[in-house]
């Protein structure tokens, strides 16, 4: 699967679904396709390897705030705030061999994903999914490890959210809801940029930035981490600054 710019808006619902299914059929088998960044050593038990196979990799600093240190397959994730968090997830999953689909987000910077080490050939972009992007995302869950759904400020009903949650679990895929209201996702990642690096007074280039991210969910207390992005020779790297145990919660909508 490769990055593409095909529009589904001019197709009927049946034609949309058939086209998406044909794209999914062209994706290599997903089972075992995502290789953990830190593979277990020879002495580790098989149960640990099996548990890691049920998760998707994330940028290193994210591990401090996520249950199990990675994203559990079959879960629903909400992301608000800085776009860098979403870009980092896409880069990590594709770099490890996974496939990602991005629905309804034509402005997303694939260049930034590449600079973070992501594999663009493993990303399918559906910039204009037509009147029902949720249905498009549901179909893509059949054959993609991570589906990013740009909701454009809309909301999803509890009934439909339950149906997609069940589908994600059965297909062992992760659905990421962005720019909208999704009822009770398992985890919400909220972040904002704290500072830019490399800028002087009226001059200079941005060479990095610092972010604070909060992870919260139904099964754990909110956790915070401070991290930074650094740019060297055209490559962007994630670095951990510190884990914040006693930091005030982020303000909703902070950037």
- The answer to whether residues 140 and 230 belong to one domain is no
In the predicted model, residues of the chain with pLDDT beneath 70 are 1-52, 198-206, 242-255
Domain boundary among 189, 204, 222: 189
* pLDDT number for residue 251: 42
| Calpha distance 144→140 (Å, rounded) | 6
Please indicate, yes or no, whether residues 151 and 180 belong to a single structural domain of this protein.
Answer: yes
Split into its structural domains, the chain has a count of: 2
Q: Is the same domain home to 20 and 109? A: yes
**What six digits make up the tokens of 45?**
């038990």
**164 and 136 fall within a common domain:** yes
- How much is the pLDDT for 208? 86
Q: What is the per-residue pLDDT for 54?
A: 85
Q: What is the pLDDT of residue 207?
A: 77
Structural domain ending residue among the three candidates 167, 189, 211:
189
How many CB atoms within 10 Å of residue 216?
18
Q: Domain range for residue 115?
A: 13-27+54-189
Q: Could you tell me if 86 and 109 lie in one domain?
A: yes
Question: Does residue 198 share a domain with residue 113?
Answer: no
Query: What's 88's domain CATH number?
Result: 3.40.50.300
What is the tens place of the pLDDT at every residue in 170-208?
A: 999 999 999 999 999 999 999 999 988 765 555 556 678
Are both 99 and 121 inside the same structural domain?
yes
Cα gap 87→101, rounded to integer Å: 12
- The structure tokens 């396709």 sit at 33
Closest CA to 71 of 27, 41, 36, 28: 36
Say yes or no: 130 and 230 in one domain.
no
């Amino acid at each position: 699967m490769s990055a593409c710019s095909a529009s589904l808006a001019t197709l009927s619902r049946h034609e949309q679904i058939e086209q998406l299914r044909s794209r999914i059929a062209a994706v290599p088998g997903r089972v075992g396709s995502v290789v953990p960044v830190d593979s277990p050593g020879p002495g580790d038990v098989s149960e640990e390897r099996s548990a890691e196979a049920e998760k998707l990799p994330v940028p290193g600093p994210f591990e401090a705030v996520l249950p199990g240190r990675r994203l559990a397959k079959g879960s629903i994730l909400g992301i608000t705030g800085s776009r860098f968090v979403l870009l980092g997830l896409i880069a990590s999953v594709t770099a490890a061999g996974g496939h990602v689909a991005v629905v309804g987000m034509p402005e997303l910077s694939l260049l930034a994903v590449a600079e973070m080490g992501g594999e663009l050939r493993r990303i399918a972009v559906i910039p204009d999914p037509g009147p029902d992007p949720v249905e498009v995302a549901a179909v893509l869950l059949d054959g993609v490890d991570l589906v990013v759904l740009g909701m454009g400020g809309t909301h999803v009903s509890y009934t439909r959210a339950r149906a997609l949650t069940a589908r994600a679990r059965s297909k062992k895929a992760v659905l990421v809801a962005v720019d909208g209201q999704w009822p009770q996702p398992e985890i919400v990642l909220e972040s904002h940029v704290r500072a830019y690096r490399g800028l002087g007074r009226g001059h200079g280039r941005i060479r990095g930035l610092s972010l604070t991210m909060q992870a919260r969910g139904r099964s754990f207390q909110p956790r915070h981490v401070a991290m930074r992005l650094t740019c060297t020779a055209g490559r962007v790297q994630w670095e951990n600054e510190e884990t914040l145990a006693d930091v005030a919660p982020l303000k909703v909508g902070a950037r």
